[in-house]
Every structure is written in C-alpha cells, then in structure tokens.
C-alpha cells in the first residue's frame, strides 16, 4: 500500500499524479486537518507531527510513504527516514528546473511561511538557483481557500491577485508552486499570468519517483484497487464534501482518532 499525507487536502495534487501513474496500486491519503495549516507552526512542532503521522501510516500497512507536503518534508523527512525502514518520498519546490529554464533570470517561489523560512529552502536556492534572482512569496490564505474547496470566488481571486499581480511587474518567467495546495489554484494563476510564465509543479516528478521505488514489487490486479481517505479532524464530513471539487470524485472519509 502507498500512503501519503499532507497538512490538509493540498497533497491531493500529488495523489492525482500518483494514482494516474500507478492506477493498480491501493493508496491511503491522510489529511492532518486537525493541525492545518502547518505554515505558521514551528519547525520542531511540524517535525514531531510528521514523524507521528508517518508511524501511524506504517502501522496501517504502508510499504511506501509520500510526505505530500513541502513544509512537512522540509521539517521532518530526515527524522522519518531514520525512524522507519520503508521508502519515504518527500516533496520539494521545483526550484532546480525553474532556475535552469528561466530566460529572464528571475523566478518566484510561492510557498508557506514555514517553508520559506526553512534551512532546506535556503539550501535549495543556494544549490540550484545561484545564477538567478529568486523572489519568495507566501500565499497567505491560499491553503485555507483550497481546504474549503473555494478555488474561484471573489475572495480567492483577491488573495491570489495580491501575490501574483506584483510579480508581473518584476519580469518573472517561472513561478514555482512550492506548496501542494497551490496547484489547485493554478487555473486562476494561469488566467492572471498568461502563457508567458511557466508554472512549475513537481507532482509528475514525484509520481515517477514513487514508481521507480515500487516497480520491482508485485502489482495488484485492478479489481483490488482501493483508495482510502482519512482525516485527523473529528468530523470527516467537510473533507468528504470537498473531495469532488479537488479530485472530481466522491469517496467516504474516516476520522483517524489521532490527537
């Protein structure tokens, strides 16, 4: 079983890529909605929570875990890899390909406050973007809008526009979607930036990485395919209500009981 988790529903952008690439594999998705959003939390708190959730997923039978959250990857993946004997795949902003492909020499990275303040982010910029100007911007309020399934209201458009419009005056030609929630706002961002700006989303690269780690394992028949959706919220109804807007399908959602 492949298991993945995010602070909330943003990791479903990774879920879509993984299930599209590996349709015969069962996948369990956990949304840590009791702690969402992670962005304002400390690195230590996020790291502790990440390890707790990954241990829970391993106990549920996961043979591979995807930390489908940039913030949790940054804070906790090293601890998880040391603690668990199974493959663990993380998510990082696609800074390397954006910097390599930029023609203007200016890229922007949109991410949570915690991700932008992390040592991992600084390391990525230092290693992969030394020859370009990197303009980091937090998508304030974006996570909450995606969690609510509100992808195109006037309020959402204002929140996105407040970040995107100033970038259009700075000759940015690549925008890195450095939070897994943000791809759900990509159609709105695309409307604002036009076709001249590339939106860099690592979802397909993550799916390829997952496939490379499990391709030697037996593939289950299609009839055994099973998708599970879990939330740490005591009330699973809101997540169930939003799933169709984000993945185009309805599924039952269970509460994990995790504190």
Inform me whether the pLDDT recorded for 40 exceeds 90. no
Respond yes or no: is residue 179 known to be catalytic: yes
- Split at pLDDT 50, 70, 90, the class of 120 is confident
Respond yes or no: is residue 69 known to be catalytic: yes
Regarding whether 87 and 212 lie in a shared domain, the answer is: yes
Domain that holds residue 153: 95-201
Q: What angle do CA 158, 161, 164 make, to 5 degrees?
A: 160
* Percent of the chain residues past pLDDT 90, beyond the cut: 77
- Work out the average pLDDT over 80-89: 94
Tell me, what CATH number does 179's domain have?
A: 3.40.50.1860
Regarding whether 247 and 192 lie in a shared domain, the answer is: no
SS3 147: helix
Which one of 66, 75, 179, 207 is the catalytic residue? Answer: 179
Regarding whether 135 and 72 lie in a shared domain, the answer is: no
Regarding whether 183 and 99 lie in a shared domain, the answer is: yes
* Mean pLDDT, the chain, whole residue set: 91
Rounded distance between C-alpha atoms, residue 113 and residue 203, angstroms: 21
Regarding whether 222 and 164 lie in a shared domain, the answer is: no
Q: Which are the contacts of 149, defined by CB distance < 8 A and separation ≥ 6? A: 241, 242, 245, 246
Regarding whether 112 and 83 lie in a shared domain, the answer is: no
CA-CA-CA-CA dihedral for 188, 191, 195, 200, to nearest 10? -10
Other CB atoms within 10 A of residue 69 CB: 32
- Using the 3D structure, point to which of 184, 201, 218 is the last residue of a domain: 201
pTM of the model: 0.87
Q: From the centroid of its chain, how far is CA 197?
A: 21
- Using the 3D structure, point to which of 163, 186, 201 is the last residue of a domain: 201
Which one of 69, 75, 98, 198 is the catalytic residue? Answer: 69
Q: How much is the pLDDT for 47? A: 93
Regarding whether 208 and 86 lie in a shared domain, the answer is: yes
Q: Do 135 and 163 form a contact (C-beta atoms < 8 A)?
A: no
Regarding whether 170 and 231 lie in a shared domain, the answer is: no
Rounded distance between C-alpha atoms, residue 147 and residue 171, angstroms: 31
Q: What angle do CA 70, 73, 77 make, to 5 degrees?
A: 175
Q: How much is the pLDDT for 136? A: 95
Inform me whether the pLDDT recorded for 16 exceeds 90. yes
Regarding whether 100 and 49 lie in a shared domain, the answer is: no
Regarding whether 212 and 190 lie in a shared domain, the answer is: no
Number of domains composing the chain: 2
Regarding whether 85 and 165 lie in a shared domain, the answer is: no
Regarding whether 209 and 84 lie in a shared domain, the answer is: yes
């Amino acid at each position: 079983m492949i298991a993945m988790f995010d602070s909330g529903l943003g990791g479903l952008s990774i879920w879509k890529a993984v299930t599209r690439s590996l349709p015969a594999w069962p996948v369990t998705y956990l949304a840590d909605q009791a702690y969402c959003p992670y962005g304002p939390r400390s690195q230590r708190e996020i790291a502790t929570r990440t390890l707790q959730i990954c241990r829970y997923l391993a106990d549920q039978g996961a043979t591979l875990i995807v930390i489908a959250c940039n913030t949790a990857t940054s804070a906790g993946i090293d601890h998880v890899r040391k603690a668990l004997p199974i493959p663990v795949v993380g998510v990082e902003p696609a800074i390397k390909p954006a910097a390599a492909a930029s023609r203007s020499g200016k890229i922007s990275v949109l991410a949570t406050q915690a991700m932008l303040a992390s040592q991992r982010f600084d390391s990525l910029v230092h290693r992969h973007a030394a020859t370009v100007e990197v303009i980091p911007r937090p998508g304030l309020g974006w996570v909450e809008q995606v969690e609510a399934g509100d992808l195109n209201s006037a309020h959402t458009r204002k929140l996105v526009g407040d970040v995107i419009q100033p970038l259009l005056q700075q000759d940015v030609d690549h925008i890195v979607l450095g939070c897994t929630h943000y791809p759900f706002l990509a159609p709105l961002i695309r409307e604002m930036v036009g076709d001249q700006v590339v939106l860099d989303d690592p979802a397909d690269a993550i799916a390829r990485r997952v496939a490379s780690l499990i391709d030697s394992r037996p593939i289950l028949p299609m009839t055994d395919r099973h998708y599970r959706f879990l939330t740490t919220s005591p009330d699973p109804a809101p997540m169930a209500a939003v799933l169709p807007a984000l993945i185009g399908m309805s599924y039952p959602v269970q509460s994990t009981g995790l504190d």
